[in-house]
Structure 1
Amino acid sequence: MEKEKTVVLYPGLSVSHFVPMTQLAGTLLDHGYAVIVALIDPSVKEDIAFGAVVARLAASMPPVRFHTLPAVEDPPKLTHDGQFMLRYLDLVSRYNKRLHDFLCSINLLIFSTDSPSNEALVVTKRLGFPSYTLFTSSAATFVAFAQLPTVLAEGGPSFKELGDTHLELFGLPPMPASHLLGEVLEDPESDTYKAMMALLCRIPEADGTLVNTFESLEARAVATLKDPRCVPGWVLPPVYCVGPFVGSIADAEAKERHECLAWLDGQLDRSVVFLCFGSIGTGNHSEEQLREIAVGLDKSGHCFLWVVRAPASDDPEKPHDPSANPDLDTLLPDGFMERTNGRGLVVKLWAPQVDVLRHRATGAFVTHCGWNSVLEGVTAGVPMLSWPLYSEQKMNKVHMMRDIGVATEMVGWQQGLVKAGEVEAKVRLVMESEEGRELRARAAVHKEAAAAACDDGGTSRLAFAQFLADVASRQDRALQ
């Protein structure tokens, strides 16, 4: 192991950030780098599923050293509520001393963290290490994040007050202000708002940003990031589009094939609608919403594979357990399972999403618009029905529809309930109509482009090579 080629990765405490970071680790290993993944103890997050994912992926990557930093006193517990990001940023800040001591104990070449953990750049800048951010969402979202701290006029309305007024951000399609992150829709005097804006202002402090995307998928956004008009007065660090990092948590599971794949084997090509709403269960649907989905699927007449989780409790004192087993007999309408037997399959809690999307029988994907899921749909060539739930997913929805052109919208999500008639109508649109065929055709083009980007000589391969060359150049200058 060459100590001078050691890279430390510092992933965030969520599946959607942790998995792409481990995929970056695999790419660095392929290029001859020693990789250490430094971790804040996953147990500080009240999410059994996340800790299990960390353990499985660590066990599946023996060449990578996983190092858990020593605990801090009385760490804040991370539950998914309106204060999550504020507590998370506080936690990262409190771990900076632990991170500092660890980095001083090794011969480090590169440090990389994900964007919510940019507070760690305080440490690496003090120590003089090259420091990069892995941005696990789209280049378009990165454009928006870079502009948000400067977009509001002095004394003008806040993002919250703008409501559904469309924002005209440079290089992006118009987007309702209400689609922004919940943290910037808070009162501008709130601690949450101030902390989020401070985090976004750290974007230029990294030596560069690796984005989990590929150039042809987001040509407009990538060009915008290179344009000095993107953020007047700021010089953005170099951006490297090195994705798509697409993989399955199931890669670290037992090799047994999931039962839903055998069921898909018996279905016609592109005949099945797949419904799945993320890996952590944060946006679990209410009982009422589950019933509306069921009725819509029943009336659509199309085959479906639906991943169902138990609704969150209405009791604020009772923390939500995303691994809770749903009682389908109670949650779904009477007779639903019998009426749809043969053309529908309901799976509890989890399905191997990458494998399902790539199966020949899958014809459409109803998704919460998390960027990892979007990329998994794109690389499988599957058209999507967008149903955003939280975080930047509302922004992704606009991008999927307006720039990428692979999705249509499930209307009603913003009011908190998508009706059965909408589910039926949109399933029929994607599976039966000319508009659905056009979505499928564009999805097929992006699938081919994604493969080409990752091939020898492809844009993502070249971008990663440029990233490594820039790191080497920076190291040479430091030694002079």
Structure 2
Amino acid sequence: MVTIVLYPSPAMGHLISMVELGKLITKHHPSYSVIILTLIPSFNTGATAAYVRHISATFPAITFHHLPDIPLDPLLFPSMEAIVLELIRRSNPNVNIALKSISESSNIAAFIIDGFCTAAMSVARRFNLPVYYFFTSGACCLALFLYIPTIHRTTTGSFKDMNTLIQFPGLPPIPSSDMVVPLLDRTTTDYSDFLEICEQFPKSAGIIINTFDSLEPRVIKAITEGVCVPDQPTPPIYCVGPLVAAGGDDSHECLKWLDLQPMGSVVFLCFGSLGVFTGEQLKEIAKGLEASGHRFLWVVRSPPSNKKEDRFLPPPEPELDVLLPEGFLYRTKERGLVVKKWAPQVAVLSHKSVGGFVTHCGWNSVLEAVSFGVPMVAWPLYAEQRFVISFSNILMLLIN
């Protein structure tokens, strides 16, 4: 039996994209088996356990091999990226055990890793496995990562202090302050960790990207022509997008509500699996929605805790009557719906009643909105989202 082993980072958006890649592989190669190595950590990366159970029950060609969680003290880490990277580094012995077990019963044809899982390349070499990256953001962000080692060698300051426009091959000029967050300050461990990841991309057997040629033609051309890695060969690039998850739970209350709304009339507000706002921001959003007079569907999560020890824990169930202005839910009940924590985003964006999307612009959300032709209003919150917004401004002009 031929097996492809996939290894995503534990973040919900990364896991969903990797599962969609697994579905694509089994669709084109039904004789192959796909095994996904998963980490479900104790700190908050989005609630993935229920999703994994759903995929296991509905796609028998995809199986999950759960790696043991390694307890880490979140208070010892400066960022979510730092704790995820440390968890993955410490999981290498467990990855070794998993690959050894899988190889005893099948032929592993390829090991496909998330960028966060770069530490596992050393394990794959012991098994002489070809290692491919699956890049879960767009080619615009990949071009940046491939060119970062060159920027590092030719500059001395941190992006956060440059106050200038940065030139990357195939991209419009990018404000230095919009750089991917872990790369903003070159004195941090986050920066050195991400620099190492950027240096490893060209050493892979190939890079798979969740994008498509007509979406990012200029930047894909720059990558494939080797301009982004001027001092060594660029590995093969495979554009396999848009990989967009299926609609999901069609019984959710919000879909029944959408069925009753006029075509293209509803603004959908949702900010990814980790996007949260302060209590003050939630009240201001509510005031804006009420004053706008427009129909809306809004996914609300509890504000982040002020306690340092809670920063990596899932937020509690939101108390809407406390978080939102007094009487807001009653006054807007004829044209608005607020749901707690989660909504089936793909099903919502594909619904005929939705006419706009206020989003954090995570790449999965961008692809979903583009796939269904839903205009976006951007509110970047974390990760590479400010950079994606800078590029998407140009992108949406081209599309429209």
Correspondence for 2:24 = 27
Q: Aligned letter for 1:84?
A: M
1:78 CA drift (Å): 5.9
Q: Aligned letter for 1:83?
A: S
* Residue 69 to residue 337, structure 1, CA distance change in 2 (3 Å): closer
Q: Residue 183 of structure 2 aligns to a residue in which SS?
A: helix
Correspondence for 1:259 = 253
Q: Residue 61 of structure 2 aligns to a residue in which SS?
A: coil
Q: Aligned letter for 1:93?
A: R
Correspondence for 2:87 = 91
Between the aligned partners of 1:347 and 1:65, the Cα distance in structure 2 is 32
Query: Is structure 2 residue 139 aligned with structure 1 residue 139?
Result: yes
* Residue 81 to residue 291, structure 1, CA distance change in 2 (3 Å): farther
Between the aligned partners of 1:354 and 1:191, the Cα distance in structure 2 is 36
1:11 CA drift (Å): 1.3
1:70 CA drift (Å): 4.7
Between the aligned partners of 1:16 and 1:79, the Cα distance in structure 2 is 24
1:247 CA drift (Å): 0.8
1:320 CA drift (Å): 5.7
The 5 A counterparts of 1:64-463 are 64-70=62-68, 75-77=71-73, 82-105=78-101, 106=103, 107-152=107-152, 154=154, 156-162=156-162, 164-186=163-185, 188-248=186-246, 251=248, 257-279=251-273, 282-319=274-311, 321-322=313-314, 324-405=316-397, 442=399
Between the aligned partners of 2:394 and 2:75, the Cα distance in structure 1 is 33
- Alpha carbon RMSD of aligned pairs, Å? 2.1
Q: Aligned letter for 2:138?
A: S
1:59 CA drift (Å): 3.2
Between the aligned partners of 1:48 and 1:113, the Cα distance in structure 2 is 19
Q: Residue 129 of structure 2 aligns to a residue in which SS?
A: coil
Between the aligned partners of 1:220 and 1:8, the Cα distance in structure 2 is 31
Between the aligned partners of 1:155 and 1:19, the Cα distance in structure 2 is 36
1:236 CA drift (Å): 1.4
Q: Residue 34 of structure 2 aligns to a residue in which SS?
A: strand
Q: Aligned letter for 2:191?
A: Y
Correspondence for 2:36 = 37
Q: Aligned letter for 1:99?
A: V
Please say if residues 147 and 229 of structure 2, whose CA atoms lie closer than 8 Å, have aligned partners that are also in contact: yes
Please say if residues 284 and 312 of structure 1, whose CA atoms lie closer than 8 Å, have aligned partners that are also in contact: yes
Please say if residues 11 and 45 of structure 2, whose CA atoms lie closer than 8 Å, have aligned partners that are also in contact: no
Correspondence for 1:10 = 7
Between the aligned partners of 1:54 and 1:79, the Cα distance in structure 2 is 28
Please identify, of 195-204 and 153-162, the stretch whose mean Cα deviation from structure 2 is larger: 153-162
- Unpaired segments ≥5 residues, structure 2: none
1:127 CA drift (Å): 2.3
What is the TM-score when the length of structure 2 is the normalising length?
Answer: 0.92
Q: Residue 216 of structure 1 aligns to a residue in which SS?
A: coil
Write the deviation string for residues 207-256 of structure 1: whole angstroms up to 9, x where unpaired. Answer: 001100111011111111112322210211111110111014x63x5xx6
Write the deviation string for residues 350-390 of structure 1: whole angstroms up to 9, x where unpaired. Answer: 11111111111100000000000111101111000010000
Please say if residues 134 and 211 of structure 1, whose CA atoms lie closer than 8 Å, have aligned partners that are also in contact: yes
Write the deviation string for residues 122-179 of structure 1: whole angstroms up to 9, x where unpaired. Answer: 22233221211110000100001111121145563221221x4211112101111111
Between the aligned partners of 2:76 and 2:327, the Cα distance in structure 1 is 34
Please say if residues 303 and 315 of structure 2, whose CA atoms lie closer than 8 Å, have aligned partners that are also in contact: no
Write the deviation string for residues 165-203 of structure 1: whole angstroms up to 9, x where unpaired. Answer: 2111121011111111221112x2332221111111111
* Residue 353 to residue 78, structure 1, CA distance change in 2 (3 Å): farther
* Residue 356 to residue 245, structure 1, CA distance change in 2 (3 Å): same
Q: Aligned letter for 1:316?
A: K
Please say if residues 11 and 46 of structure 2, whose CA atoms lie closer than 8 Å, have aligned partners that are also in contact: no
1:46 CA drift (Å): 3.9
Q: Residue 172 of structure 2 aligns to a residue in which SS?
A: coil
Q: Residue 118 of structure 1 aligns to a residue in which SS?
A: helix
Between the aligned partners of 1:365 and 1:257, the Cα distance in structure 2 is 21
Q: Aligned letter for 1:100?
A: N
* Residue 29 to residue 304, structure 1, CA distance change in 2 (3 Å): same
Between the aligned partners of 1:217 and 1:361, the Cα distance in structure 2 is 25
1:319 CA drift (Å): 4.3
Q: Aligned letter for 1:311?
A: P
Q: Aligned letter for 1:215?
A: D
Between the aligned partners of 2:378 and 2:188, the Cα distance in structure 1 is 31
Between the aligned partners of 2:276 and 2:392, the Cα distance in structure 1 is 22
Q: Residue 366 of structure 1 aligns to a residue in which SS?
A: strand
Please say if residues 17 and 136 of structure 2, whose CA atoms lie closer than 8 Å, have aligned partners that are also in contact: yes
Correspondence for 1:415 = none
Q: Residue 305 of structure 1 aligns to a residue in which SS?
A: strand
Please say if residues 246 and 376 of structure 1, whose CA atoms lie closer than 8 Å, have aligned partners that are also in contact: yes
- Unpaired segments ≥5 residues, structure 1: 407-441, 444-480
Write the deviation string for residues 312-365 of structure 1: whole angstroms up to 9, x where unpaired. Answer: 111223346545221111111122222212111111111111111111110000
* Equivalent residues, number: 394
Q: Residue 261 of structure 2 aligns to a residue in which SS?
A: coil
Q: Aligned letter for 2:85?
A: L
1:49 CA drift (Å): 1.6
Please say if residues 74 and 312 of structure 2, whose CA atoms lie closer than 8 Å, have aligned partners that are also in contact: no
Write the deviation string for residues 43-99 of structure 1: whole angstroms up to 9, x where unpaired. Answer: 34345723333333333322322112355xx54256897332223222222222222
Correspondence for 2:52 = 54
Q: Aligned letter for 2:72?
A: P
Between the aligned partners of 1:218 and 1:119, the Cα distance in structure 2 is 29
Q: Residue 49 of structure 1 aligns to a residue in which SS?
A: coil
